[in-house]
Amino acid sequence: MKHYLEKLLKQENLTLEEMKDAATTSFSEHISESELAAFLTGLRAKGETPEEIAGLAEVIRTQSSQTTNELANVMDNCGTGGDGSHSFNISTTAAFVLAGAGVKVAKHGNRSVSSKTGSADVLEHLGISLSFSKEHVEEMIQENNIAFLYAPHVLPGMKRFMTVRKNLGIPTIFNLIGPLTNPVNLDTQLLGSYRRDMLPVLAETLHQLGRKRALVINGAGYMDEASLAGENHISLMEEGKVTSFTLHPSEVNLPVYDNNDIRGGDAKDNAAILLDVLNGKKGPYYDTVLLNAGLGLFAGGAATSIKDGIKQAEESIQSGSAKEKLQRLADYSSKITSEAI
């Protein structure tokens, strides 16, 4: 670890293999919390590269007992969090719309960190299990197009880093890494980030991690989701090539709303918003989900354009297919809980 710390102090980047070695070493009990803190601070001060981010993500994934390559054509639409917008659970709601449109979704998430309610909080309130086994996840994705992977359950080895991050009190590489550590082998991804400056870097990181196609988004107001408040900044990665562009809601025939119009609340409030959207209640929440689900369908290759994706997203909701995916996941959760008693 000392060798890697010296490289970082000299503003030298670590190779992918060096980062994987450093990350593997970080999981060892022989490495002190002060060494971990110095390593994370050194990376942040230098600026993280795609190879460094990908190297850490790969090692974290190998620590999970749920790492699987059994599924094909699966995507995730998890954001990094950290935007401070206090919005409702946009990507969680959109995930069911994606599943309803025929996309296989391994929805990775956690409890709230910077917002009032994380994906795990709202899904738990809706009766979704936070302890699906690897077999449960595979079965649900195959049969229902969607399963939920609760980060602390599928990545228990991350606990030792939590104290270090809390004591440091500054953003580190871990504020970027969450959506990249999904133990399911993903083909495509829609990734939201609160850091606009990192979009091309994260797009290249997704290429390093083997994604065939991905969209990385920073919304108007620096949200880690696409927003209807104005211009969204997007990087598209396809077969290793990264291109960047902006998207205004008027370009896809959606109205403009202030970000305050999509604020959420506690788990009960956000569960009600999620159900309203899946029941087809029109308004800012609904249109925001249409935009994000449309982008997800485009990212996953199920739609030929963002407009086409939005059209498919609306069909998923209005047909009742999106809500059916939620209900089947809740029913399955109830079934496995009963069997365990």
Residues within the annotated binding site for Mg(2+)?
A: 91, 224-225
Q: How many CB atoms lie within 10 A of CB 143?
A: 11
> CA 181 to CA 201: how far, in whole Å?
16
Q: Which residues are annotated as a binding site for 5-phospho-alpha-D-ribose 1-diphosphate?
A: 79, 82-83, 87, 89-92, 107-115, 119
Q: Which residues are annotated as a binding site for anthranilate?
A: 79, 110, 165
> CA 86 to CA 259: how far, in whole Å?
9
> CA 102 to CA 322: how far, in whole Å?
10
Helix, strand, coil percentages (3-state) for the chain, rounded to 5, are 55, 15, 35
Number of H helices, E strands in the chain: 15, 7
- Find all residues with CB under 8 Å of 2, minimum gap 6, and list them: none
Distance linking the first and last C-alpha atoms of the chain: 46
What is the strand order of the sheet 213-218 is part of?
A: 146-150, 104-109, 74-76, 188-192, 213-218, 232-238, 241-247
CB 39 within 8 A of CB 26: yes
CB 173 within 8 A of CB 41: no
Q: Which residues are annotated as a binding site?
A: 79, 82-83, 87, 89-92, 107-115, 119, 165, 224-225
What is the residue-wise DSSP string for 115-129? SS--HHHHHHHTT--
- Find all residues with CB under 8 Å of 340, minimum gap 6, and list them: none
Q: Coil, strand, or helix at residue 201? A: helix
